[in-house]
Copies of this chain bind each other. A is one copy, B any other.
Amino acid sequence: MTTTEQQSVLFDKVCIIGIGLIGSSLARALKQAQLATYIHAVDQSEAARGDAAALGIADDVTSDVSVAADCDLIIIATPVGVMPDVLATLSGIVKEGAIIMDVGSVKGSVASAGEAMPAHFHVVPAHPIAGTENSGPAAGFAELFQQRWCILTPLNRQNEDYAAAVSKVEKLWRGIGSDVVSMDASHHDLALAVTSHLPHLIAFTLVGAADDVENVNEAEVVKYSAGGFRDFTRIAASDPVMWRDVFLHNKDAVLEVLGRFSEELAVMQRAIRWGDAEALEKAFTRSRGLRQAIIEAGQETAEPNFGRDKK
Is the CB–CB distance between B251 and A208 below 8 Å? no
Interface residue from B105, B148, B262, B304 paired with A133 (Cβ < 8 Å): B304
Is the CB–CB distance between A199 and B229 below 8 Å? yes
Copies, count: 2
Is the CB–CB distance between B247 and A272 below 8 Å? yes
A207 to B268, CA, bound (A): 13
Is the CB–CB distance between B206 and A191 below 8 Å? no
Is the CB–CB distance between B233 and A294 below 8 Å? yes
In this complex, what residue of B is CB-closest to A304? B132
A134 to B272, CA, bound (A): 24
Is the CB–CB distance between B224 and A129 below 8 Å? yes
A207 to B263, CA, bound (A): 13
Interface residue from B130, B198, B220, B229 paired with A226 (Cβ < 8 Å): B130
Indicate the size class of the contact surface on chain A.
35 or more
In this complex, what residue of B is CB-closest to A215? B190
Neighbouring B residues of A299 by C-beta, 8 Å: 222-223, 225-226, 230
Name 17 interchain pairs, CB-CB below 8 A, sorted by A.
Answer: A129-B223, A132-B304, A132-B309, A134-B304, A194-B216, A194-B229, A195-B224, A200-B228, A201-B268, A204-B268, A204-B283, A226-B300, A233-B290, A236-B284, A236-B291, A237-B291, A248-B275
